[in-house]
Structure 1
């Protein structure tokens, strides 16, 4: 168990914008920050973070909450794990109790896979540093590669003994289940036999953006031609190679800071770059680059520099990855190393300054790169040259931004010595074909939708729900604020007509709302809002120095999500960047008393309408007897609504 004082200290110290900033590139937007949703595929920001309210909201999925909620959603942490992660980030001492064997067995399956992977990483590191075989074989290999002790520790490198089941036996001895050892791929089970997948290999843990161990890469150290040089963990519930980048945990802050990501191929390329001093580097771990991997980088930066070794044969095969990057609306540059060199060897032989200068001087625009790779094959063949130009235009067509498209067309015209008009015509043909294909797919989808569309009832606006939601929002934002209110006292004039007489007085916002709702005996229709309303009122009554951040941290996750949805609703409009269009909406806290009064008046008008409808139904149900009392009630309610509507400046 983690003590309450520790949890309070974690909540008090942590900053939601700092925590989320480790995973998503955030840009200032008024008093808030915005970025691309980490929970959906999108190219325009719909993710908002409020430092003032210390909450976040993802408008594309509806998710929201505080820093802990983000970690639980994004990293699939349990609540205690999220607290421990934040404690580690902010150097807060936290009491951790050792898990008993019974507790390990009770952990859910996904969590069990994480536990097994973490244990394996610790085990392989211990073997590397604490055993004679580990030092003589594994550690000596890493030292030969030029890795320092600090680098080896930073990347949690390890060694798996060259024995059939040394790791498996130790894991079982520590009460980890064989079922999960097999599911993570660490142990291979065949009938009654079991043996270690990574037997006799140096180990590279593959971590998530938050540092959780998802899987492993293992390199063999013998010259066994039958065995693969590199071996990766198989796919599991926690490890999907198409969605993971090696080194992202160590590189994320540097990528966001430098606003650029270097993309390499192998584990040692990443490690050697880090050791030289360039930290904003990740690897696709030897697999072909995927859209999910690109989107992972896209959360941190819009700029990717792809680094290729001097192997000319591999360059052409890598061109598809460049098109994928362009499709995601990102800026891509390519840098190749001299023949026979790769990022690992080149960074080892050069200083940080030399490496930085080389990358700066040799990073090419993707058009220049494609032209240089393909031109040599086609310079004496007009047909091949035409194919090369079409290939480049195909890549340009994948760029979402029209301005960038035009600039690249001009660049292509200059490099390939062909008129812009021809290129624009070719681009239009490609784009039109893509549009036609898209329209065809949409038409098919629409046709399928029309079949079931008529079955869907028309969704009506729930006015009471929206007004109750607004009351909760006002209480959360301004509940403790003192305002001058103008109350309307219902009086009868000399002509025996009902009039509303204004009376001004000062009151706390929450007291004003509470008394108004009590006077009219108005009840919340939404059960969640009703419970939240009384919780907020009680908290405001008992806590003179009410703090929104502290309140959000005390409620359960479901309520916190609803609160963040309510509070961040207005942030949705800042995504449109109205200020850049010279539109300056009035800040809500400048007219709090008006907002409170109008919301209560609107709710009163709505409830009056509901009451009148009830009376009408009673009259229709009993046509034989026209109840004069009911008609009098309807008349009185209608008169009251007329008065309220005048106060709201409405025409009925």
Structure 2
């Protein structure tokens, strides 16, 4: 267990905008930050972070909470793991009692897979640095590749002994279950036999954006035609190769800072670039590039530079990845290395300055690149040239932005020496075909929507809205002292009853509590009722009430509800009204008025409900309507009139 002192220190130190900024590219939006949702596929920001309240809200998925909630949602951390991650980030010493083997067994399955992977990572490093076989074979290989000791340790590189079950035996000895060794793919089980998947290979741990070990890549060091050169961990509950990029953990901050990501093919390409000094580089780890991997980069930057070696066949195969990048609304450039060179070898032979200059000078626009690769094959064949042009226009059609499309058409016209009119016509044909398919899909969806539209429209629950507003006011301004205007009935010189305004100063939470208590008003929503009494009790006991501490002290469900309430208004900041010279009035300019109006509105609503009840009883007993019922309706109507005057409403 982690000590309460450590947890308090973590919450006190951690900044939600700094932590989330490691995973999502955030831009300033007034007093908040906004960015693309890390939980859904979108092109317009719907993710909001509030540094003042130290909470976040994702309007596309409905998720929200504090800094720990983000790590639990995004990285699938347990609560203790999220605390440890933050403690490590902010150099806070974690006080805890060590887990027993029994406690390890009680961890859920997913967590067990993570634990096994972390153990394997430590084991392979230990073998590399502490055993004769590891030093002679594994460490020698890495040093031959030009990797320094610091680089080897930074990327947690390791070695798996060339023995059939050395790793498996050690893992079982340490108390890890064979079930999870098999599910992570570290151990292969066949009937009554078991052996290590990565036997005799140098090891590259594949990490998530937060640094958790998800799986491994292993390279064989002997010439064996029957064995694959590289072997990756199989798919598991924690490792999905289509959603992971090698090196993203080490590259994320540099990608956001440089506003560009270099995309390479292999593990050693990433490591060599990093060692040379270019850190904003990731790899798809030998798999074909996927939309999920591109969206991972899209959280950090809109710009990708794809790096190819001089192999023409490999370049043609990789052209498909460029179209995928364009479809995601990203800006893409391509840089190739001289024939016989790849990113790894080229980075090894050049200084940081030489490599940086080369990348800048040789990065081509994707049209120039496609034209140069495809044109060479088709320059003497008119039919092939026409196919090349159509191929380029097809790539342009993937771009969502219409202005960019037009600019690229103009560029293509110059490079391929063909009129813009013909290219626009071709683009229109491609778009028409795409439109027909999209239209067909749209009509299918519309038919489903028509069925939904026939369903009765749900009415707005006024009491729910007002109760929610009271919770929001308590959370934001509960501890503030304000001057509240009350209207007191007094008799004037002529003997008439008039309303005279009187200003009384009070805490916001006291004003709300007393007003609701005077009218014996109860919350009808169970969540709001629990929240209301929890907040009132906390404010009563703690004069130094802080919203951040309060959110951290309640359970996950309540914290999520609080975040949803508090961040609802922040949704409108996503529209950037100030850019259109529209300046919404801040709530804090008149808190007293907000409190008074909310309470009075709730009272008016409840009076309406009471009058309807009385009217319904009158209808049911129309033959027995007594004078007291009529007087009750009259009294309620008079009270409603009085409240409406306070609210300055016409009745």
Q: TM-score, normalised by structure 2?
A: 0.98
Name 1:618's counterpart in structure 2: 617
CA–CA distance in structure 2, aligned partners of residues 397 and 491 of structure 1: 75
Aligned CA-pair RMSD = 1.5
Decide whether the 8 Å contact of 1:250 with 1:279 is kept in 2: yes
Decide whether the 8 Å contact of 2:278 with 2:352 is kept in 1: yes
Query: The residue matched to 1:219 in structure 2 has which SS?
Result: strand
Q: Deviations over 1:340-379 (max 9, x none)?
A: 0000000000000000000000001111111111111222
Query: The residue matched to 2:125 in structure 1 has which SS?
Result: helix
What's the offset of the Cα at 1:416? 1.4
What's the offset of the Cα at 1:497? 8.3
CA–CA distance in structure 2, aligned partners of residues 148 and 238 of structure 1: 30
CA–CA distance in structure 1, aligned partners of residues 365 and 181 of structure 2: 46
Q: TM-score, normalised by structure 1?
A: 0.98
Decide whether the 8 Å contact of 2:310 with 2:339 is kept in 1: yes
Query: The residue matched to 1:525 in structure 2 has which SS?
Result: coil
The question of 1:210 aligning with 2:210 is answered: yes
Deviates more, 1:635-644 or 1:160-169: 635-644
CA–CA distance in structure 2, aligned partners of residues 336 and 106 of structure 1: 51
Decide whether the 8 Å contact of 1:500 with 1:643 is kept in 2: no
Q: 1:637 to 1:492 in 2, by over 3 A?
A: farther
Q: 1:394 to 1:636 in 2, by over 3 A?
A: same
CA–CA distance in structure 1, aligned partners of residues 496 and 635 of structure 2: 11
Q: Which runs of 5+ in 1 are unaligned?
A: none
Name 2:232's counterpart in structure 1: 232
Name 1:411's counterpart in structure 2: 411
Decide whether the 8 Å contact of 1:29 with 1:574 is kept in 2: yes
CA–CA distance in structure 2, aligned partners of residues 358 and 631 of structure 1: 90
Name 2:166's counterpart in structure 1: 166
Name 1:315's counterpart in structure 2: 315
Name 1:473's counterpart in structure 2: 472
CA–CA distance in structure 1, aligned partners of residues 115 and 466 of structure 2: 47
CA–CA distance in structure 1, aligned partners of residues 205 and 299 of structure 2: 23
Name 1:601's counterpart in structure 2: 600
CA–CA distance in structure 2, aligned partners of residues 399 and 349 of structure 1: 37
What's the offset of the Cα at 1:613? 1.3
What's the offset of the Cα at 1:445? 2.3
Decide whether the 8 Å contact of 1:160 with 1:198 is kept in 2: yes
What's the offset of the Cα at 1:87? 0.3
Name 1:591's counterpart in structure 2: 590
Q: Deviations over 1:129-170 (max 9, x none)?
A: 111111111111111111111001011011000111001111
Aligned length: 651
CA–CA distance in structure 2, aligned partners of residues 600 and 448 of structure 1: 42
Instruction: Map 1:226-265 to 2 at 5 A.
Output: 226-265=226-265
CA–CA distance in structure 1, aligned partners of residues 432 and 58 of structure 2: 33
Deviates more, 1:315-324 or 1:625-634: 625-634
CA–CA distance in structure 2, aligned partners of residues 414 and 496 of structure 1: 92
Q: 1:316 to 1:352 in 2, by over 3 A?
A: same
CA–CA distance in structure 2, aligned partners of residues 523 and 494 of structure 1: 39
CA–CA distance in structure 1, aligned partners of residues 423 and 619 of structure 2: 73
Instruction: Map 1:89-128 to 2 at 5 A.
Output: 89-128=89-128
Instruction: Map 1:47-446 to 2 at 5 A.
Output: 47-446=47-446
Query: The residue matched to 1:575 in structure 2 has which SS?
Result: helix
Query: The residue matched to 2:288 in structure 1 has which SS?
Result: coil
What's the offset of the Cα at 1:99? 2.2
CA–CA distance in structure 1, aligned partners of residues 523 and 494 of structure 2: 36
Name 1:508's counterpart in structure 2: 507
Q: Which runs of 5+ in 2 are unaligned?
A: none
What's the offset of the Cα at 1:518? 1.2
Query: The residue matched to 1:6 in structure 2 has which SS?
Result: helix
Decide whether the 8 Å contact of 2:3 with 2:96 is kept in 1: no
What's the offset of the Cα at 1:436? 2.2
What's the offset of the Cα at 1:113? 0.4
Deviates more, 1:229-238 or 1:392-401: 392-401
The question of 1:522 aligning with 2:531 is answered: no
Name 2:571's counterpart in structure 1: 572
What's the offset of the Cα at 1:501? 3.5
Name 2:483's counterpart in structure 1: 484
What's the offset of the Cα at 1:429? 2.4
Query: The residue matched to 1:146 in structure 2 has which SS?
Result: coil
CA–CA distance in structure 1, aligned partners of residues 392 and 630 of structure 2: 78
Decide whether the 8 Å contact of 1:34 with 1:46 is kept in 2: yes
Query: The residue matched to 2:374 in structure 1 has which SS?
Result: helix
Query: The residue matched to 2:412 in structure 1 has which SS?
Result: helix
Q: Deviations over 1:175-231 (max 9, x none)?
A: 111111100000000000000000000000000001110000000001000100000
Q: Deviations over 1:296-345 (max 9, x none)?
A: 00011111100000101111111111111111111111000000000000
Name 1:627's counterpart in structure 2: 626
What's the offset of the Cα at 1:449? 4.2
Query: The residue matched to 1:318 in structure 2 has which SS?
Result: helix
What's the offset of the Cα at 1:31? 0.3
CA–CA distance in structure 2, aligned partners of residues 596 and 466 of structure 1: 14
